Structure 1
């Protein structure tokens, strides 16, 4: 039976999605997941969420999908052991070395590959399952035919986002480093964890610079208008039965950085849709379209607010870097003149 896994960017969101029909909730650890700290949970909060989920017969997946340094690997494994002892049933991991170690250390937990693994073909999937992954998350630009082919060739547990991109996308999730080129700084917290602002892969947050306006030039001809590099994905509906028939095992609702009420409503919506699909072979899902359009408008509005905030942070960081560079240059010129 397919599992619906929903985001838990806050404790409130975790409770809401579990109450509304999610089979599992995924939560990020402060400094160890591909989100900003405002959408991650502390250890105490994660413990509370695990207890809450367990009391309702639900599960928690803990997101630890940064790429740790050699110094940080023991810290990461220690945290994973702690969460497993509390009752976490699975972990979302990007680093393949840590994935292998976690499988050896905790053979009964479910390892989900993170979008940070940047899967593009069935050989990627085969490699990741060989080192311990129970579920591999596929990028949302893959077609139902590609997913069916991967399932047939590997037999892996297939996880997909409830997302589609109209254009197919220009950027592979997990393999983009654009944000860190525009802004990069780091600090070490009291536990020794190195936090990298501007780098999602190293415990910071992606600044969504792909959502800013860009000018493209092809063969010497520039596009007439500015456009974003990454298109705005939309939620699935009519194609959902075909994806389930292709062998999808886990449906991942996105939105850790959205409002708790929007995510709650989306989970409630998909619980109803999945129940209808389970009732018959050729379900009529047209009645759900008005609700889906409402969610789309709310999603775009909240995404716009988030992107403007993050892009603004990137611009402020770039401005500060320019000022610092100008100050260093002025100081150097003054020193040489004094000589």
Structure 2
């Protein structure tokens, strides 16, 4: 048995997803507060929610990291010192920071561990040593670095290294993109990214004698392509390499993603990490198939094994997201007689659903009966409604916060 294993680090946009991540196997969760982060469109956590999140995490032997990784202007520093003092008071385990000025001010305000954000583009041992001297305890390397290179940096700088293992990828260098600034008036490096890289664009040769109008007139609508869009990262087949190079934390991207995404990625990578640590055969085919059920782009391994090349570009068709399953809802409560579920999509009688226990095999169930909260039998339920579904013997492992999914029609 391997005595050491890496941390599994998951994203959460709100308190529900944080609980889902931890219960499905995450060792730590990273979240954003109301300010200073790069996901302004996520629900993000109020101070009270951060306190609740920290308490829940620590009750389940997990850690909580808070992002302060936006690139701040002078006026953005108002309240930062007091905010850091509050985070320390609720026992936040680490802060994720990218900006030198923020790092300096945070060090004055509190003694919370500092993890260097991938936004800082640390790509070599020499930069890692400098960051370590400045008080950084862990470095989230730029996604341009391979696992092997990361292992060298870890050994040379003698510092913990974190790498992304799964999720959406940015075409720009460690996310340093300003397309949204110019196309949407939203600062992508201060929490406003509009994912302009996912849009279709038209390519044409530059001509100094042609006007912009002439060039536009020569383009055809079907010539638009998503040449700036990256495939998604999936590093399941790199688990052995992560262990061999002692990468301390494997990070799942996706603070904007659904509970189904969080549950599926956490459960899958938890099983892979534990299987290797226990020197069991890695069931890669089974778990790669599980990751393919998610709404996603095509997968690649980014630069984990070799520098990403042209085949990592996702030239999407009409439907940018593939995947075989969709979220149905989440279990709110259970009794001996029924499970109570909140629906994220409409549900009808005779639909087949799949309930996902935290550890054991999934439960397939055809909905023959369901009831509203008044106990009345119904044949259909709307999105964002709450229903009772009779509990069967196969549902013995189903618990609150278990996620429910269904196969897409035609999949």
Query: TM-score by structure 1 length?
Result: 0.75
Q: Call closer, same or farther: CA 1:283–1:38 in 2, change over 3 Å.
A: closer
Partner Cα distance (1:271, 1:40) in 2: 25
Q: 5+ residue gaps in structure 1? A: 185-197, 306-339
Distance, in Å, in 1 between the alignment partners of 2:279 and 2:166 is 23
Q: Deviations over 1:244-298 (max 9, x none)?
A: 2122111111111011122112101111111101011874533322212223xx2
The answer for unaligned runs of 5 or more in structure 2 is 208-218, 299-318, 322-411
Alignment match of 1:116 (pick from 112, 119, 123): 119
**Alignment match, 2:389:** none
| Gap change, CA 1:230 and 1:290, over 3 Å in 2 | same
SS of residue paired to 1:290 = helix
SS of aligned partner of 1:258: coil
After TM superposition, the runs of 4+ consecutive aligned structure 1 residues lying more than 6 A away are: none
**2:80 aligned to 76, 80, 84, which one?**
76
Deviation of 1:134 (Å)? 1.2
Q: Does 1:89 align with 2:93?
A: yes
Q: Which residue of 2 aligns with 1:199?
A: 187
What TM-score, normalized by structure 2, do the two folds share?
A: 0.63
1:41 corresponds in structure 2 to 45
Please tell me whether the aligned partners of residues 92 and 114 of structure 1 are also in contact (alpha carbons under 8 angstroms): yes
Q: Deviations over 1:98-130 (max 9, x none)?
A: 2134235433x2211122212333333222222
Report the counterpart of residue 324 of structure 2 in structure 1.
Answer: none
- Structure with a larger share of its residues in helix: 1
User: Aligned in 2, Cα 1:212/1:225: closer, same or farther, shift over 3 Å?
Assistant: closer
Contact 2:123 2:144 in 1 (8 A): no
| Residues 1:104 and 1:231: Cα distance change in structure 2 (over 3 Å) | same
Aligned pair count?
A: 284
TM-fit CA distance, 1:218: 7.1
What is the Cα deviation at residue 304 of structure 1? 4.9
1:155 to 147, 153, 158: 158
Alpha-carbon spacing, 1:39–1:140, altered in 2? closer, same or farther (3 Å): farther
